[in-house]
Structure 1
Amino acid sequence: MKATEVPAIAGAFLFEPSPHTDPRGFFSRTFDADVLRSVGVDPNAFVQDSVSRSARGVLRGLHLRSGDGEAKLVRCSYGRIFDVVVDLRPDSPTYRHHATFELSDTTQVTLYVPAGCAHGFQALTDPADVSYRIDRPHDPAEDVTIAHDDPELAIPWPLPATSMSPRDREAPGLAVALKQMGR
């Protein structure tokens, strides 16, 4: 497994596995504590695993947590997604920058999203399964959502959004969300 720094988001990494393939399919390591440690990520910090399934065009996000934030490892275990990270850490050299990625089941690449960054994705296939490994137990009182179509962010979503949760559809723009978080 190889770790590659994401230049547009300070502290973000892509973890690219080396799948073993044969006529039966493939076998791939998707988590390696030593590789995480090698780039300064504590593998023991992760306390919760979750998975979502989305139909093509479904848009989830942009989400983050207030307070101490939430670091996560994100991987598309089935299908393909357009993934977005927005750096909202005021002291970061990449503050308010965003980066986009295509994550898929064929590559099994894992994205490390540092705490204090917003995250969202859009399903490009039907279905798309996304696996998350999160470093804090979920507390709904800390949930923050930012409008996916905020013009200040200008995220180039590849498809029209076919479905969104009410929370995502009614999310405030970036300026309002930052004010809610005291930033």
Structure 2
Amino acid sequence: MKIVAIEEIAGAYLFEPVPHVDERGFFSRTFDAEAVRRVGIDPGSFVQDSLSRSAKGVVRGMHLRAGRGEAKLVRCSYGRVFDVVVDLRADSPTYLGQVHTELSDTTQATLYIPAGCAHGFQALTEPADVAYRIDRTHDPSEDVAIVYDDPELAIPWPLPPRLLSERDRAAPSLARISGGAP
């Protein structure tokens, strides 16, 4: 498994599997405890796996957790997504840094998102499935959302956004969130 440090977000990594391809298709390791351990991530810290399915054009995000945050491993298991991470850790050397990555079922690459970073994506295909491995049990009282079209973030969504959740439509701007971070 190839590990690529994401320069725009301190502590973020892209894990690129090396699939075995033959006439039947492919076989690919999508999680490797030793690979994540090599970059200082405790593979045993992940407590929840989740899956979302989105129609083409759907934007989910920008989401993060208050308190001690939430680290995630994110992979597009079917289709393609335009994935966005924004560093909202005020003490980070990459504070307000962004990374835009296409994740797809073709590469099966996994993006590690450190706690304190906002995450969102837009489905580029009909449908797109995104698998999450999360290091904390979900507590709705800690959910934080930033409006997807925040002018300060100026995220270049590739398609016209559609079918937004009520939570995402009503989310405040980054400026309205205390100190610019949760």
TM-score by length of 2: 0.98
Instruction: Give 2:32's aligned residue.
Output: 32
Instruction: Give 1:14's aligned residue.
Output: 14
SS at match of 2:171: coil
Q: Distance in 2 between matches of 1:170 and 1:97?
A: 24
Q: Distance in 2 between matches of 1:97 and 1:178?
A: 18
Moved over 6 A (4+): none
Residues 1-183 of structure 1 aligned to structure 2 (within 5 Å): 1-179=1-179
Using the TM superposition, give the Cα deviation of residue 97 of structure 1 relative to its aligned residue in structure 2, in angstroms: 1.1
Using the TM superposition, give the Cα deviation of residue 180 of structure 1 relative to its aligned residue in structure 2, in angstroms: 8.5
Q: Distance in 2 between matches of 1:144 and 1:177?
A: 9
Aligned length: 182
CA distance 1:171–1:52, shift in 2 (3 Å): same
Q: Distance in 1 between matches of 2:89 and 2:71?
A: 12
- Deviation sequence 1:38-73 (CA, Å, 0-9, x none): 001110000000000000000000000000000000
Using the TM superposition, give the Cα deviation of residue 177 of structure 1 relative to its aligned residue in structure 2, in angstroms: 2.2
AA in 1 matched with 2:115 = A
AA in 2 matched with 1:151 = P
Q: Distance in 1 between matches of 2:94 and 2:180?
A: 21
Q: Is the 8 A contact 1:62 1:119 kept in 2?
A: yes
- Where does the alignment leave 5 or more consecutive residues of structure 2 unmatched? none
Q: Is the 8 A contact 1:145 1:177 kept in 2?
A: no
Calculate percent identity across the aligned residue pairs. Answer: 70
Q: Distance in 2 between matches of 1:149 and 1:62?
A: 9
SS at match of 1:44: helix
CA RMSD of aligned residues (A): 1.1
